[in-house]
Structure 1
Amino acid sequence: MAGGRPFHLISILPNLFTAASIFTGVVAIVSAIHGKFEKSAWLIFLSLVFDALDGRIARLTHTTSRFGVEFDSLADLVAFGVAPALLFYFFAGHEFGRLGILVMALYIIFGAIRLARFNVMSPHTDPSVFIGVPIPAAAIFVSIWILMFVQYEALQPYSWVLPGAVLLVSLLMVSNIRYPSFKKINLERPALTKTLIALIIVASLIYLFPVEGLALGITLYVGWGVGRAARTVMTRRGR
């Protein structure tokens, strides 16, 4: 275009992946409404794949922009806020009446607060840590445990624990507890060998037991931050 900035098709590629994340999140919502809980949960995981790709593609193609950042946050609210909240509600939350509605709403509200806080604080915080559980991790936690309940009928009598678990992860999103971001992995020796072994073990577990391995991994991740914070508090009291 004469007299203006040239348009490059590659500049919209990251935003297409962001749009794909929103689309799969919406389909996950529709699936949950129609009782297709397993499909809904896996679609939320697919949204996570698109979400992981859009930022990396933007950095690789040097097409990062403020618009892309804001668009990504809105996509995250749909795919990792609204979608898992409705998946929880239609799977088990509706059985608890107003409590189920409240837990669903708080998850979405706290997820929105988490995203807004991240956008404000990210330029000033250590990129190797997250302050509070990231909303994609919270979405994985909710989705994978619902998959566990779908897969194992023996767990279904204990569905009463789900509102508490969803409420807990909602509160952790807006907490000040620090979680590793994995954006910066130490590849210097000897950390390289330890990291490689850990990744091989995790990949092997997920290969052998996809749902169980993911459930164990995300539960350990969520619990690690709580345990670390509790240890810090106890150490300070001891002093």
Structure 2
Amino acid sequence: MTTEPVIDDLDDESAEPVRPRRKGIYILPNLFTLGALFGGFYAIVMAMNGRFENACIGIFCAAVLDSLDGRVARMTNTQSAFGEQMDSLSDMVSFGAAPALIVYEWALKGLGKAGWIAAFVYCACAALRLARFNTNIGIVDKRYFQGLPSPAAAALVIGFVWVMDDAGFKGVSQIDWLAWLALGFTLYAGLTMVTNVPFYSFKDVSFKRTVPFIVIVLIALGIALINVHPPMVLFALFVVYGLSGYVVYAVKKSKGSPVSVIATSTDEPDEEGLHR
């Protein structure tokens, strides 16, 4: 007599499905990102309390930390999808919502509807710029940003606030000419973020390569120059950078060179409008 193999159905039914192993979170680069997020949040709180100098310092500190988290991740080989998403969310708070709220509280609220519309336009353009950056990240020329990067746009707006506050202008919402000038800076920075104008990214600068001794001397002189009058020097630097993209665009256009920093996608025709 032959016997059939007995199948242990009970064991099969009780066996739990194998779950994918959860990935941990790299702490080092995300600490920089959290620091940048704190800088933006701190700036909002300071602006709500009328301490605009502290608010401006918070945004500039956030910009410094934001510039470091990606480089730290690449240097330590700790890049992750979580870190990329965290960075975008932090940027939206620190360089999108925070500057819009600070400049509104400082000057734009005195302009009524025009003031809060300008603040919203800036905030919306920051969100659109970050979304487009995440969409085009695989096809963009690494040497350039497509449009003014959000930290530079925030520095442009907040730098203006810092310079005027340092010059002694208080109650700016009651000074019409200065409030309208702030509105102009806010709209310029916001709309420039969503243009296709190329801005140099400095991503091809490597910290692993040797440099001539004079470069270290120039860096030391730059630090000394900033310390002479931080509000004015930093604001001037970002004004120059905020105009540099249009200069590059004009030069390339006059030479007949391509001005787009990305290649047109052929695989995603539905997103063609994002790539032009």
TM-score range normalised by the length of the shorter chain: 0.7 to 0.9
TM-score normalized with structure 1 length: 0.85
Q: How does 1:3-22 map to 2 (within 5 A)?
A: 11-22=26-37
State the secondary structure of the residue aligned to 1:35. coil
- Matched residue, 1:217: 237
Q: How does 1:138-217 map to 2 (within 5 A)?
A: 138-153=153-168, 158-159=177-178, 160-185=180-205, 199=219, 202-217=222-237
Does structure 1 retain, via aligned residues, the 8 Å contact 2:143–2:200?
yes
Unaligned runs of 5+ in 2: 1-18, 257-276
151-160 or 123-132: which moved more? Answer: 151-160
Pairwise CA distance, 1:203: 3.0
Task: State the one-letter code of the partner of 1:31.
Answer: M
Does structure 2 retain, via aligned residues, the 8 Å contact 1:202–1:213?
no
**Aligned-residue RMSD, C-alpha:** 2.7
2:247 to 212, 227, 231: 227
Separation in structure 1 between the aligned mates of residue 237 and residue 213 of structure 2, nearest angstrom: 20
Pairwise CA distance, 1:60: 2.6
Pairwise CA distance, 1:231: 4.3
The 3 A distance-change label for structure 1 pair 124 and 100 is same
State the secondary structure of the residue aligned to 1:130. strand
Q: Percent identity?
A: 35
The 3 A distance-change label for structure 1 pair 6 and 164 is closer
Q: How does 1:116-155 map to 2 (within 5 A)?
A: 116-153=131-168
Does structure 1 retain, via aligned residues, the 8 Å contact 2:96–2:154?
yes
State the secondary structure of the residue aligned to 2:137. helix
Separation in structure 2 between the aligned mates of residue 100 and residue 133 of structure 1, nearest angstrom: 22
Pairwise CA distance, 1:165: 1.1
Pairwise CA distance, 1:233: 4.5
Q: How does 1:78-97 map to 2 (within 5 A)?
A: 78-97=93-112
The 3 A distance-change label for structure 1 pair 57 and 196 is closer
- Matched residue, 2:4: none
Structure having the higher helix fraction is 1
Pairwise CA distance, 1:34: 1.5
Pairwise CA distance, 1:227: 2.7
2:87 to 47, 67, 72: 72
TM-score normalized with structure 2 length: 0.74
42-51 or 135-144: which moved more? Answer: 42-51
Pairwise CA distance, 1:23: 2.0
Check if 1:50 corresponds to 2:65.
Answer: yes
Separation in structure 2 between the aligned mates of residue 167 and residue 73 of structure 1, nearest angstrom: 22
Q: Which has the larger radius of gyration?
A: 2
Separation in structure 2 between the aligned mates of residue 192 and residue 180 of structure 1, nearest angstrom: 22
State the secondary structure of the residue aligned to 2:95. helix
Separation in structure 2 between the aligned mates of residue 111 and residue 92 of structure 1, nearest angstrom: 20
Pairwise CA distance, 1:207: 2.3
Check if 1:108 corresponds to 2:123.
Answer: yes
Check if 1:30 corresponds to 2:40.
Answer: no
The 3 A distance-change label for structure 1 pair 197 and 128 is farther
Q: Deviations over 1:89-137 (max 9, x none)?
A: 0000101111110111111110011111111112211111111000000
Separation in structure 2 between the aligned mates of residue 232 and residue 176 of structure 1, nearest angstrom: 13
Pairwise CA distance, 1:208: 1.6
State the secondary structure of the residue aligned to 1:153. coil
